[in-house]
Structure 1
Amino acid sequence: MHPAWPVLIVVHAVAAAYSILFGAFQLLRRTKGGAVHRVIGRIWGAAMYVVILTSFGIRTLNGGFTWLHALSVFTFFTVSIGLWAARTGRIPAHRSYMTGSYFGILGAFVGVVAVPDRRIPQMAVNDLPGLVVWVACILLTAGFAVAGTVLLSRQKKSLRPAPSSGL
């Protein structure tokens, strides 16, 4: 049976899952730059910073750091520069930094689940129903966040006054 999940690892895993889902949503959407993109982007950025910051509390069994910690330092800078690029209107740079950051977290995820002794693979072997419930909760809450953001954006658009004809 897998050992108990400390709060730090739970927060880290949930934020990482949200980062992967919201990042995929952003990359797959055709429309960029609108209200939905900005809101989901802020959620994604916050989740990324949570993943980065919590990663430094997760150490190896001997208390050391791994290549994933170096990736966290690098990702802190790429996400920060990407946000700054968006704020300053440098959209190609924003796109590049955010896309790179997203693929970095995907790489970290693959690195984590590829090691059989890690918690997620152990949960898949020893507590598959628990893992299924966990994944379903993440998918549902992320889906509700996206759906709510899209609906609020559409509602806000429909409440705007029609542009005047200038007559």
Structure 2
Amino acid sequence: MSFGLSGFTPIFGQYSLFHVLSVRILICIVATIYFARKGNIKRHKIFTTGAFFGLIGAGLGTLAPGRLIHEWLFGLF
């Protein structure tokens, strides 16, 4: 998981926005399963969409200049 990662500007102690997104994703996944089992499809869709956009945000964060994956994909210019 991302909780061992560093390098972003800390918000809460040593944790950054990237870590906050990770917690958000975990909450969305648990809520998605819970509401699907309860039959509340409207809430299930809301949390599924939230998890999707959270993952998109985390993915874009890994492509930020100075991050390792950015260097792998785009090289050193």
TM-score, with length taken from structure 1: 0.39
Coordinate RMSD, CA, aligned = 1.8
Q: By how many angstroms is 1:122 displaced?
A: 0.2
How far apart are the structure 1 equivalents of 2:24 and 2:74?
Answer: 32
SS at match of 2:7: coil
Which of 47, 65, 69 in structure 2 is aligned with 1:116? 65
Structure 1 residues not aligned, in runs of 5+:
1-53, 128-167
Structure (1 or 2) with the larger CA radius of gyration: 1
1:81 and 2:31 matched: yes
Q: Say which structure is richer in strand.
A: 2
Which of 52, 65, 74 in structure 2 is aligned with 1:125? 74
Partner of 1:144: none
Partner of 1:101: 51
1:55 and 2:5 matched: no
Q: Which runs of structure 1 show a deviation greater than 2 angstroms over 4 or more consecutive aligned residues?
A: none
Q: Say which structure is richer in helix.
A: 1
Structure 2 residues not aligned, in runs of 5+:
9-13
Identity %: 31
Q: By how many angstroms is 1:125 displaced?
A: 2.9
Question: Taking CA–CA contacts closer than 8 Å with sequence separation of 6 or more, which of the two structures ends up with the larger relative contact order?
Answer: 1
Q: By how many angstroms is 1:120 displaced?
A: 1.3
Q: Which amino acid aligns with 2:72?
A: M
TM-score, with length taken from structure 2: 0.79
How far apart are the structure 1 equivalents of 2:61 and 2:74?
Answer: 17
Correspondence 1:1-167 to 2 at 5 A: 54-60=1-7, 64-113=14-63, 115-126=64-75
Aligned length: 71
